[in-house]
Amino acid sequence: MAHQLDYHTIREIFTRFEAAEPEPKGELEHVNAYTLVVAVALSAQATDVGVNKATRELFKIADTPQKMLDLGEEGLIGHIKTIGLYRNKAKNVMKLSRILVEDYGGEVPNSRAALQSLPGVGRKTANVVLNMWWHYPAQAVDTHIFRVGNRSGICPGKNVDFVERAIEDNIPVDFQRHAHHWLILHGRYTCKARKPACGTCLIRDLCLFEDKTL
């Protein structure tokens, strides 16, 4: 684990990220808050590409909690069976859809606690939804962010909670809304787990990672 970078270095890092990608976007396809919740819940231990392939047709016919209930669990499984853990995920999607209909009038709540009370929705999922749909600067720490944060010194921490706090405490507020997207994209395409592309990295000269590749 690298030590925590200082304020000026972090500001320079995110200035470069912003210059390269001013409006980074999440890669999960969705049409409203509900489909975003479902997509993120389905993405656990799965790739965004795989989830998008499975949900593209699903969301054409089930883009509200009630429509998902009308489709039924077996109907849902027919669309998502290419995704890992699909049976358990299907059960959770049906349960959360039922709760949204019965307790929230079919609308997705926008507090972290309410979102986390839904089956299959953890803190990371809740933060993704708060950030992507309501533009709240919530930080959804996944394996990419955890790796980048600890390699680089941007937001080191012994677990995802510590990394989330490091982001909130150390990244300047004007970069907070997009911070987790920049870090995810950097981890996914540049600071990869096995073969980091240090030679083309925007922040190579600022990063504390000792095993830089060419």
Q: Which of the residues are catalytic? A: 124, 142
SS3 75: helix
- Give the list of residues 6+ apart from residue 27 with CB closer than 8 angstroms, or none: 48, 49, 52
Question: What radius of gyration, in Å, describes the C-alpha atoms of the chain?
Answer: 18
Element (H, E) at 54: helix 48-61
Q: What is the dihedral of CA 167, 173, 176, 182, to 10 degrees?
A: -90
Whether residue 89 contacts residue 67, with contact meaning beta carbons closer than 8 Å, is answered with no
Cα four-point dihedral sign 81, 87, 91, 96: negative
**191 neighbors 151 (Cβ within 8 angstroms):** yes
Q: Where are the alpha helices (DSSP H) in the chain?
A: 7-20, 33-42, 48-61, 65-71, 73-80, 86-104, 112-116, 123-134, 143-152, 160-170, 176-189
Can you tell me the distance from the alpha carbon of 162 to that of 168, in angstroms, rounded to the nearest whole number? 10
